[in-house]
Structures are given as C-alpha cells and as structure tokens.
Structure 1
Amino acid sequence: MAEKGSKTGLWIAVAVLAAMLAMSGLMNLGLLASLVSRTAKADTDYPVDEEPSYDEVWSYGYGETKVVRIALSGVIMRGRQQRLIGYEPDMVESILYQIRCATIDEEVKAILLEVDSPGGAVTPSDEIYAALKRFKRADEARVVMVFVRDLGASGAYYAAMAGDFIMAEPTAIVGSVGVIMQTLNMKGLADKVGLSSVTIASGENKDMLNPFEEVDPKHLAMMQELVDGMQDRFASIVETARGLESRKLLDGRVFSAGQAVEHNLIDGVGYFQDALDKLADLLDVEDLYLVRYSETMSFFDMLMASKAPSLPDFTAMDSPRFLYLWKP
C-alpha cells in the first residue's frame, strides 16, 4: 500500500514538473517570437506608423466607390492586455492606424464606422474623433457614415460626432454625454482593521484622493473643475455637430434610437443595408465597394496573437482616470 502511494506521489511530481517545463517553454517561445517579430518589422524602407498598410478583404458590394469598414467595439481604452504568450492588440492604436491608412489612400471615398461601445477614456475618444475629421479634411468629397449596432454611448458618441450621418439600429442606445471619474475611499475600513497611510509627497495637493485619508472638499472641488471643463468640451462638440439650440439633454442621460432621432442626436434608424443605401446616396453613387482591413501576420505574429489564457486583470486597482464612459 505504501509502495502504491509512493508511486502515485512520484507520478504527480512528474506531472507537475512537466507542466512547469511546458510553461517555461511557452514563455521562452513567446519572448523569442516577440524578438524575431520586432526585428522583422523594423526591416522596412518607410515609416510604418506614419504609413500603415493592410491587406484588403472585399467585404460588400460590386461598385467602384471604395469604402472602408472600421469597427469601434468595446471600451475605448489604450493598452494591451498581457497573455501568457504575447499581448492583445491595442484597440485604440488599431483604429487610428486603420483611419490613417484610409486617409492616405486616395481611392477611399468614405469610412463606415460601425459602433458598439459604451465609450471609454477621454483622450483616446478625442483622438479617434480628430482622426476621422482629418480623414475628411484630406478630401472634401469624403464622407464618414456612423452605424450604431447596439450601443453608442459617451466616448463612442463623442467619436461619432465626426460623422456626416449617424444611423442606429432600432434597439440601439445612444447618448450619455458626460464625464465620470470614480475612486474608492477606504478610510473607514482602514481604521477598523488598523491600517494607516504613510505618504511622502512634494506638495499638499500631490496626495489628493488618497484612499486612506479623509476626502478633502478642496480636492473634490479641484477635480470637479476638471470634470466640468471636459464636459464643456464634449457638450460643445455635440452642440455644434448636431446643431442643437441648448445643452438641456446633454446631462449624461441615454436615449433609445427613436428618442435620439426625435431630439436630433442622430439622423436615422435602420439596419446595415439601410446604412449602406444612405451612404450610397450621400456619395451620389448606385453601388459601393466595401473593404475591411486585415493585417498580414507572420508565423510568429500569429503565435503572439493566439488565444492563450489572459493574465489576471488588475485595472480596477489603477489610479482614478477621467472617462467618457456609460457605467450604469
């Protein structure tokens, strides 16, 4: 019996060791892939960030007027989520690269921005908006069509203000013009469990919103002033783009597609084909030629992008940040 138990323990130890070796091998392979991939990508004769290029996948239509489909999906946030092998791509950089690629391609006459997002960080939302405006400035005949599938709120709605026409599906939710910043205060909990904060700072305001100290009303007033300034910019952009006479409805509330049309926050309600028909009408053509961008990937790129398990997400522990985000 003892011999049987010792054999079982031996096999468990072997299995654990094999798993550790496999994990180590995968991590080393990932590091090698990253190194080789970076070296290969550096071997170009043009600035790849300034002049991004993609393979084009024929998506829809038989016309001659070229339109690029770009998806704005998920929370608008910079950063790449780490995996056991490699990283998830940075969604903001990907969108900006696609818009830039469309901008330098003189054949592209329109962008179809397909939105399904609750918004996200302030600056990335503004960057996407600015990139779409730049696309149109490169050729006055160009059009940006925004199609909201399920959700186009806050920062996503901000980016949509660069659109010449905004159409939402009948069940979509849009709006939420506003800014939010949240943090936790654990002063009460810290007092109960006997924790105290030791902070060395260079000035009285450097340590504002320390979660282990009482909230200082003066610090709240400072943060509120920043939030109000960001809200003023957001509301001003919406007011101008939509031709609104007041900001009464720009208080953070959301609207159904029907309500949004009624209040002139969007231009129409319909489905994907309706959006294409309207885009063709705006371009004054019979049919469109839609493409999607697809990045050429080497073996190592594909390995890095493989669906390996993600590492734990600790973003909830990040410092407070200002957000154009709908958080019901």
Structure 2
Amino acid sequence: MNQTVLHKGEKGTPTIIIQQPGRRLLLMFLLFALAFSLMLNLGLLASVGDLTSDTNTPNEKFHSGDTLADAKIARIEANFMIMNPYTNRIIKAIKKATKDDAVKGVLLVIDSPGGLVSDSHEIYHQIKKLSEKKPVFVQMKGIAASGGYYIAMGAGPDAPVYVEPTTWTGSIGVIVPRYNVTELADKIGVKADSLATGPLKDTLNPLKEMSAREREVWDAIIQDSFDRFLSVIAENRSNLSLEQVRELATGQVYTANQAIKNGLADEISFEEDSLTKLQEKLGLKTAKVIDYTYPLSFTESLLSVTARQPEINIDPFSKILEASTPRAMYLFGSQHGLKSNSY
C-alpha cells in the first residue's frame, strides 16, 4: 500500500512524496536471495573443488644441497601447535619419507610449544617407525617444549638431539585447561542446569565447582598421560633413567645449556651444521635436501582473504561453553586469557 507524505522543499514549496514500502521490501528480499544464492554456489563449488583436488599427498620442494644428487635427505618440520590439520599432514610426510627409497635420512626440525596428547603420540609413533628404517636426527629451534619434546623422542635412543643456543625445551607434563567462572555466573545470574545421565557426564563444566569425585577421575586420567610421557623419554634417552626423568618433569622449561646439562639434549648445533653431520653419518658425498609442502585446498584458497579478518562472535558464552570440552595437552604455557584451574 502506498503512503503519501507532505514535505516542504527548500523554498517552502509543498512537495508530495509517495512511499511504496512494498517495493522496498521486495528489493530487500531479492538482494537477500541473491546473496544467499552466491554463498550457496560458492560452497558447492568449494566442495567440488576439494573432492577433485589432491591435497593428501605432500609435494617435494628443494631445500638445499645438490639438485642433481640421487640420494635425498628429508627435512620434516614441525613448526605448529600439535593438532589437526597439521597432525595429519606431518604424518603423511613421515610416511612418504619412510616409503621413499631415495630418502636416506631425515632431519626432524621442531619449533613447537606442543599440543594435544593424542596427536603428539600419533606423530611420535610414526617417527618411531621411520627411525627403525632410516636415521633420524633432531634439530630443535626456538621452542621444542612439552609435546614438541615428546615427538622428538620418536627419533630413538641413538639419535642426537641438537639445540640452538636460544632454544627452550622440556616443559614435561600434562595440562587440562579448565575455566572456573562460577563467581562471574553468580553475579550475572547464570547457573548450570544440564540434563545428564550420570554425575560425571557434565564434568569440567565451567559454571560449577569441580567435585572431589571429578577431581579424582581426572587426576587418574592425566597421571596416565604423564606416566606415558616419562616412559617415552626414559626409553629414548639412554643416558636418563625413569627416576631422573621424573625429577626433571616439573613442568618447567629448560634453556639449551640446561637441557644439555640435564641430559635432555646432546649439543648445540645450527640446522645447516646438523644437516652436514647427518650427511656424514649416512656416508654421502652429495645429497639433495628436500622439504615436504602441501598445496592449499580449494576451500583454503577461497577463504584465504576472509580468514585474515578478525572473528566477530556475538555469543558471549560460546567460548565459555567451548572451554568445557576436555583437552589433555602436552603444552608449554597457557593459551587462555582467563585464569584457569589446570593440571
């Protein structure tokens, strides 16, 4: 229905404006439909692109050495927080190096604060299998702490662990981050009222205090992960007993010199020197050093611009609720802005 409005112009001359709200609503609807259609088509295009593109196989990229050499040294880099999608990608790189007969040895380059317990062990397991077939040397860079140290142990008891002068390593321990926002919830009138089938189904809810039974359960869980960490180090550092490792496992981070003194690392060496030592160990006069890289998936390419935009979250409780998902981590430092009760 049209709406007539009497409006005076600049010189006081009456002007009649006929508003048509129906046409405005129709225009808004058409614009919304167009935007929705574009988003839907982009999503379908991304899905088809991901299905038809092969991002599962890592590509080789020349790093250094002799480009014409037949023998290869693979440089596998763990320079991320240990979690997916990086876990799957490095495992594929490890498997490719294991199967490639031209790869005679591997330099595992670590610059990571650690990450998830399960992912750290998966990577460790694959490196262990690799080291049973080919020599693996470890090069620690800026930080190789907690899960970063854990995966280094996959190189085996005979593998040298090199650190740079400024490397931080160690931080042996387990943490399950947990927010406790009960006081804040009381102030703003929020309380936990979950529907659950058992007293432990709603465990680690940040909106309620942890019970003694919950703490007992989680203590046992993290102790299992902690004991596994200690055993992995003791098995792969022939100069350290289990009790010596336990004494070092305070959660503290060690400098390069401290790590060498305590038997967690062997000597200071930079990457180019470590590659030379590995080549000498392999008895190779020439070698081609390669990296493994991954092409971006269609979706990643499509979202590369928007991914850099700051996240806008209109739900103030989403992060709190997300924090209630238990995540056992071999991780150095706190990744959270709020104070948390952690193990």
User: TM-score over 0.5 for the alignment?
Assistant: yes
1:186 offset after TM fit, Å? 2.1
* Alignment map for 1:130-145 (pairs within 5 Å): 130-137=125-132, 139=133, 142-145=134-137
Q: Does 1:321 align with 2:333?
A: no
Q: Larger deviation: 98-107 or 232-241?
A: 98-107
2:75 is aligned to: 69
Relative to structure 1, the CA distance from residue 221 to residue 275 in structure 2 (aligned partners, 3 Å threshold; closer, same or farther) is same
2:338 is aligned to: none
1:315 offset after TM fit, Å? 6.4
Whole-angstrom CA distance in 2 between matches of 1:33 and 1:134: 39
Q: Does 1:165 align with 2:160?
A: yes
Whole-angstrom CA distance in 2 between matches of 1:150 and 1:135: 24
Whole-angstrom CA distance in 2 between matches of 1:256 and 1:238: 18
**188, 208, 216: which one pairs with 2:203?**
208
Answer yes or no: is the 8 Å Cα contact 1:66–1:291 preserved in 2.
yes
Normalization by structure 1: what TM-score?
0.79
1:92 is aligned to: 87
Answer yes or no: is the 8 Å Cα contact 1:33–1:304 preserved in 2.
no
Relative to structure 1, the CA distance from residue 188 to residue 268 in structure 2 (aligned partners, 3 Å threshold; closer, same or farther) is same
1:172 offset after TM fit, Å? 0.7
Answer yes or no: is the 8 Å Cα contact 2:124–2:152 preserved in 1.
yes
Whole-angstrom CA distance in 1 between matches of 2:306 and 2:173: 36
Q: SS state of the match for residue 147, structure 1?
A: strand
Answer yes or no: is the 8 Å Cα contact 2:145–2:171 preserved in 1.
yes
Whole-angstrom CA distance in 2 between matches of 1:109 and 1:261: 27
**309, 316, 322: which one pairs with 2:307?**
309
Which runs of no fewer than 5 residues in structure 1 stay unpaired?
5-15, 42-47, 79-89
1:12 is aligned to: none
1:307 offset after TM fit, Å? 3.7
**Residues 62-107 of structure 1, C-alpha deviation per residue, up to 9 Å, x if partnerless?**
14431111211121112xxxxxxxxxxx111111111111122122
Relative to structure 1, the CA distance from residue 23 to residue 292 in structure 2 (aligned partners, 3 Å threshold; closer, same or farther) is farther
**93, 100, 103: which one pairs with 1:105?**
100
Q: SS state of the match for residue 127, structure 1?
A: helix
Q: Does 1:57 align with 2:61?
A: yes
Whole-angstrom CA distance in 2 between matches of 1:315 and 1:77: 19
Q: Does 1:121 align with 2:105?
A: no
1:267 offset after TM fit, Å? 1.7
Q: SS state of the match for residue 174, structure 1?
A: strand
2:19 is aligned to: none
1:160 offset after TM fit, Å? 0.3
**22, 34, 44: which one pairs with 1:32?**
44
Relative to structure 1, the CA distance from residue 145 to residue 195 in structure 2 (aligned partners, 3 Å threshold; closer, same or farther) is same
1:236 is aligned to: 231
Q: SS state of the match for residue 228, structure 2?
A: helix
Higher alpha-carbon Rg = 2
**Residues 284-327 of structure 1, C-alpha deviation per residue, up to 9 Å, x if partnerless?**
223321112234568x4673363433555876734131100001
Relative to structure 1, the CA distance from residue 308 to residue 213 in structure 2 (aligned partners, 3 Å threshold; closer, same or farther) is closer
Relative to structure 1, the CA distance from residue 25 to residue 70 in structure 2 (aligned partners, 3 Å threshold; closer, same or farther) is farther
Q: SS state of the match for residue 161, structure 1?
A: helix
1:154 is aligned to: 146
1:271 is aligned to: 270
One-letter code aligned to 1:55: N
1:85 is aligned to: none
Relative to structure 1, the CA distance from residue 3 to residue 204 in structure 2 (aligned partners, 3 Å threshold; closer, same or farther) is farther
**Residues 20-79 of structure 1, C-alpha deviation per residue, up to 9 Å, x if partnerless?**
8997577445413322224424xxxxxx89xx534322211114431111211121112x
One-letter code aligned to 2:218: M
Which runs of no fewer than 5 residues in structure 2 stay unpaired?
1-7, 11-27, 335-343
One-letter code aligned to 1:303: S
Q: Does 1:222 align with 2:228?
A: no
CA RMSD of aligned residues (A): 3.1
One-letter code aligned to 1:143: P
The percent identity for this pair of structures is: 31
One-letter code aligned to 1:252: G
Relative to structure 1, the CA distance from residue 297 to residue 238 in structure 2 (aligned partners, 3 Å threshold; closer, same or farther) is closer
Answer yes or no: is the 8 Å Cα contact 2:80–2:111 preserved in 1.
yes
Relative to structure 1, the CA distance from residue 20 to residue 103 in structure 2 (aligned partners, 3 Å threshold; closer, same or farther) is farther
Relative to structure 1, the CA distance from residue 74 to residue 22 in structure 2 (aligned partners, 3 Å threshold; closer, same or farther) is farther
Answer yes or no: is the 8 Å Cα contact 1:187–1:213 preserved in 2.
yes
2:15 is aligned to: none
- The total of aligned residue pairs comes to 295
Whole-angstrom CA distance in 2 between matches of 1:125 and 1:213: 30
Relative to structure 1, the CA distance from residue 152 to residue 192 in structure 2 (aligned partners, 3 Å threshold; closer, same or farther) is same
Answer yes or no: is the 8 Å Cα contact 1:33–1:303 preserved in 2.
no
Normalization by structure 2: what TM-score?
0.76
2:177 is aligned to: 182
One-letter code aligned to 2:109: E
